[in-house]
């Protein structure tokens, strides 16, 4: 479209009929005022340009209409029907912005936004949305999470609201800034949803009711599935997250504040620190590599995790504590963001008991990762 276009004003003669005409704009049906005369319909250009996101003004001194399409979305369309991925839609009448959903994924890995970390519990997973917002005003436009309501609807028709905060895709900080005219920003948002089943619907709407149309997405077959071994193999959609996940030695798995790799198992017949093997029994040692994935300092000590060892009879083996990997000092230390430590956890194995499985979760909230003990 031209940046501006000068039109001579039509002088109408004879009897005119005022009416409203249906106009289809990029598949969206709208109604604009018209004047019908001599079998022709003259559209109210001011109303039409407003619907397109631009502007039109009438200069009575020169009898001219000035159309400015600079504020109109170049690739967007009006929301209100089912949305498509990677397609831009005009939202929010009072402060126009353009929204485009790039992709969506299921994950159980915690998501960091600013100084917060969002981690799903054992019965939950995250629906993470990646999208762009673009300022379609001629002036700066303040953008943050409360410009839009983002709601996921599960298979039971239960709504789940996005967490309070959008992340900047480039630096993972909170999005709360003025966008310049035409400026576009890539963002992400997290929604905590049930661990089981697909999330078939997504709704995007202005925060203020009535301030624009609702944009709806059918997410079936459009969300990236969970990876193995998190995904339940019984669900062919890849949308169900296991609560008890089979772990592999040496591989790293996400919890809530930390990610953990169980590296090896070993036994001791002698005292370790202040822990003595039971009479006729021994100590089971599991070596762990632990990394703080939170954006803040996090305390690591024996009760940060809930490790449970069971023997061949299904009985639990007593947990005795956490030590550093190469010393007998107990672990009770603040871990800085991104820092990694090697530790070992210790269990008392009674005489005749054969440990067969280690299960670990963080604070009894996250899903369990289970390891076979050789």
Domains of the chain with CATH codes? 4-68 (no CATH), 76-224 (2.60.40.1240), 244-372 (2.60.40.1240)
Tens digit of pLDDT for each residue in 218-234?
999 999 999 999 999 99
Average model confidence (pLDDT) across the chain: 87
pLDDT at 44: 72
Comparison of pLDDT for 36 and 345, the residue scoring more: 345
Tens digit of pLDDT for each residue in 138-168?
999 999 999 999 999 999 999 999 999 999 9
pLDDT at 9: 33
| HSE-up of residue 84 (Cα within 13 Å, Cβ side) | 8
pLDDT at 365: 83
Q: Is the pLDDT of residue 335 over 80?
A: yes
Tens digit of pLDDT for each residue in 288-312?
999 999 999 999 999 999 999 999 9
Strand positions, DSSP E, 145-251? 148-153, 159-161, 167-168, 176-179, 184-194, 201-206, 215-218, 223-224, 244-246
Rounded average pLDDT over 15-41: 61
- Separation CA 90–CA 213 (nearest Å): 9
Q: What percent of the chain has pLDDT over 90?
A: 75
- Separation CA 285–CA 273 (nearest Å): 13
Which has the closest alpha carbon to 366: 230, 266, 179?
Answer: 230
- Separation CA 124–CA 200 (nearest Å): 16
User: Edge-to-edge strands of the sheet including 64-68?
Assistant: 4-8, 64-68, 55-59
pLDDT at 200: 97
Tell me the three-class secondary structure of 47-90, residue by residue.
Answer: HHHHHHCCEEEEECCCCEEEEECCCCCCCEEECCCECCCCCEEE
Rounded average pLDDT over 17-25: 60
Q: Is the pLDDT of residue 58 over 80?
A: no
pLDDT at 79: 54
Q: Is the pLDDT of residue 17 over 60?
A: no
Q: Is 111 exposed, middle or buried (0-12, 13-18, 19+ CB in 10 A)?
A: buried
76 contacts 128 by C-beta, under 8 angstroms: no
Q: Is the pLDDT of residue 328 over 60?
A: yes
Q: Residue 216: which pLDDT band, with cuts at 50, 70 and 90?
A: very high
Rounded average pLDDT over 173-192: 97
Q: Which residues pair with 99 in a beta bridge?
A: 89, 133
pLDDT at 280: 96
pLDDT at 16: 53
Q: Is the pLDDT of residue 76 over 80?
A: no
Helices (H) and strands (E) in the chain, counts: 1, 32
- Token look-up 């296991």 returns 242
Q: Residue 74: which pLDDT band, with cuts at 50, 70 and 90?
A: very low
Rounded average pLDDT over 74-85: 64
Rounded average pLDDT over 177-205: 97
Q: Is the pLDDT of residue 267 over 50?
A: yes
Chain CA centroid to CA 43, Å: 43
Check residue 144 and give left, alpha or beta (phi > 0: left; psi -120 to 50: alpha). beta
Q: Is the pLDDT of residue 340 over 60?
A: yes
Q: 3-state class of 114 per DSSP?
A: coil
Which has the closest alpha carbon to 187: 293, 102, 107, 94?
Answer: 102
Average the pLDDT over each of 63-67, 95-99, 143-147 and give the range with the smallest value. Answer: 63-67
Rounded average pLDDT over 336-349: 98
Comparison of pLDDT for 85 and 45, the residue scoring more: 85
Q: Is the pLDDT of residue 67 over 50?
A: yes
For the chain, report the end-to-end CA distance as a whole number of angstroms. 70
Rounded average pLDDT over 315-331: 96
């Amino acid at each position: 479209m031209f940046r501006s276009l000068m039109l001579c004003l039509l002088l109408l003669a004879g009897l005119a009929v005022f009416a409203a005409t249906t106009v289809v704009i990029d598949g969206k049906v709208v109604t604009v005022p018209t004047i019908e005369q001599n079998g022709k319909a003259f559209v109210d250009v001011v109303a039409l340009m407003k619907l397109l996101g631009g502007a039109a003004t009438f200069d009575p001194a020169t009898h001219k209409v000035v159309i400015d399409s600079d504020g109109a979305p170049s690739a967007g369309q009006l929301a209100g029907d089912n949305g498509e991925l990677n397609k831009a839609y005009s939202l929010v009448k009072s402060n126009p912005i353009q929204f485009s959903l790039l992709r969506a994924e299921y994950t159980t890995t915690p998501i960091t936004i600013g100084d917060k970390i969002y981690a799903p519990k054992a019965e939950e997973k995250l629906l993470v949305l990646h999208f762009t917002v673009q300022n379609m005003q001629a002036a700066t436009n303040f953008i943050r999470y409360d410009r839009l309501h983002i709601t996921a609807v599960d298979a039971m028709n239960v709504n789940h609201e996005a967490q309070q905060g959008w992340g900047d895709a480039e630096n993972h900080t909170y999005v709360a800034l003025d966008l310049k005219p035409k400026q576009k920003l890539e963002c992400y948002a997290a929604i905590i949803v049930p661990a089981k089943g697909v999330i078939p619907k997504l709704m995007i709407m202005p925060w203020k009711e009535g301030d624009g149309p609702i944009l709806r997405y059918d997410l079936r077959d459009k969300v990236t599935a969970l990876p193995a071994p998190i995904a339940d193999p019984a669900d062919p959609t890849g949308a169900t997250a296991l609560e008890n996940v089979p772990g592999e030695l040496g591989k790293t798995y996400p919890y809530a504040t930390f990610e953990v790799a169980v590296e090896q198992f070993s036994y001791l017949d002698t005292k370790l620190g202040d822990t003595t093997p039971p009479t006729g029994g021994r100590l089971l040692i599991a070596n762990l590599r632990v990394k703080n994935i939170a954006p803040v300092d996090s305390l690591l000590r024996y009760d940060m995790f809930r490790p449970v060892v069971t023997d061949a009879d299904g009985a639990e083996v007593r947990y005795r504590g956490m030590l550093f990997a190469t010393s007998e000092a107990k672990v009770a230390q603040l871990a800085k963001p991104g820092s990694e430590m090697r530790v070992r956890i210790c269990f008392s194995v009674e005489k005749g008991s054969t440990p067969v499985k280690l299960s670990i979760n963080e604070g009894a909230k996250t899903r369990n990762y289970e390891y076979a003990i050789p």
